[in-house]
Amino acid sequence: MIRKCLFPAAGYGTRFLPATKAMPKEILPILNKPLIQYGVEEAVDAGMHHIAIVTGRGKRALEDHFDISYELEQQISGTSKESLLTDIRRLIEECTFSYTRQVEMLGLGHAILSGETLIGNEPFGVILADDLCVNEDGPGIMEQMLAVYNKYRCSVLAIQEVPEEDLCKYGVIAGRELDDGVFMVSDMVEKPEPVEAPSNLGIIGRYILTPDIFDILRQTKPGKNGEIQITDALQTQARQNMVMAVKIQGRRFDCGSVTGFVHATEYFYEQFMKENQE
């Protein structure tokens, strides 16, 4: 049973300036729901009710979003608008939210290490809210990964096939396929040059990590772009122990890019229209 899910959310969101000048990128909405709320719902669907968020300066809106707003509640109480708060109220009731600040931006590995104080010594999920994942036909992505964790009891990565020209934007794995779409990882490269890519399998922003990752991260030297990379720490973990990767069933939108954000918006709008026609 994995109880905790970590959300690294300290980044500046520079690709969305000026929208992210005074607002966290994780609060940008796809239709009427902030990106991070989709991620939290996915964690809860996988049974993870302790939501640990690594924040940074200027991210207060995240804490306010996952809290009750008494004035607002009172204003709309008994009106037709009240139903718009049903989902977020459920999350606030079902989950515990805890926060810590990443003081310096030294990479995703460093952000995850900053979350150690909230996680402690137990396995945990990690969701990058930028990567919005949906599976219409079955369990959510974190739930799919949990099934692999329950079988192999080691860190698990989510992967998908990526066009060759885009591999340089991802951590890329090589591995041996043990079950259908489930690989034992033998190699991992963060944002490789085309000739260095060990396969076409890119890591997407979902991880289940065993807590020994924290000690490994402490020993991990800055890698690509001078940042402490979770990919490098996982490479060490794969050599010392075992790391699995699973091809996700469903769709993933890269909402860290304007194009991905628009595609996600179109997709959720279509879903919304379908639901409202029935």
Least separation in angstroms between CB 225 and ligand G1P: 8
Minimum gap (Å) between residue 230 Cβ and ligand G1P: 6
Report the interface residues with ligand G1P, using CB under 6 A. Answer: 108, 128, 131, 170-171, 190, 202-205, 229, 231, 256
Which of residues 82 and 166 has its CB atom nearest to ligand G1P in the complex? 166
The residues with which 183 forms a beta bridge, in sequence order, are: 177, 245
Read off the amino acid at residue 134.
Answer: V
Task: Enter the tokens of residue 109.
Answer: 């590995």
CB of 52 to ligand G1P, least distance (A): 18
Please, what is the minimum distance in Å from the beta carbon of residue 224 to ligand G1P? 8
E strand intervals along the chain: 4-8, 29-30, 33-34, 50-55, 96-101, 124-127, 131-134, 155-161, 171-179, 182-190, 201-209, 243-247, 251-254
- C-beta of 100 vs 229, nearer to ligand G1P: 229
Question: Considering beta carbons, is residue 128 or 248 the nearer one to ligand G1P?
Answer: 128
Neighbours of 33 (CB within 10 A): 14
For 142-193, the DSSP string reads: HHHHHHHHHHH-SEEEEEEE--GGGGGGSEEEEEEEEETTEEEEEEEEES--
Tell me the CB-side half-sphere exposure of residue 34, using CA atoms within 13 A: 18
In contact, 23 and 61? CB cutoff 8 Å:
yes
Q: Which is nearer to ligand G1P, 93 or 104 (CB)?
A: 104
- Between 91 and 183, whose beta carbon lies closer to ligand G1P? 183
Nearest-approach distance from CB 231 to ligand G1P, in angstroms? 5
Distance CA(262)–CA(278), nearest Å, equals: 25
**Least distance from ligand G1P to the Cβ atom of residue 72, Å:** 33
C-alpha to C-alpha distance for 145 and 209, rounded to whole angstroms = 11
Residue with smaller CB distance to ligand G1P, 48 or 255: 255
- Minimum Å gap between C-beta 268 and ligand G1P is 19
Contact (CB, 8 A) for 220 and 232:
yes
Looking at the Cβ atoms of 8 and 34, the one nearer to ligand G1P is 8
In the bound state, the residue with its beta carbon closest to ligand G1P is: 171
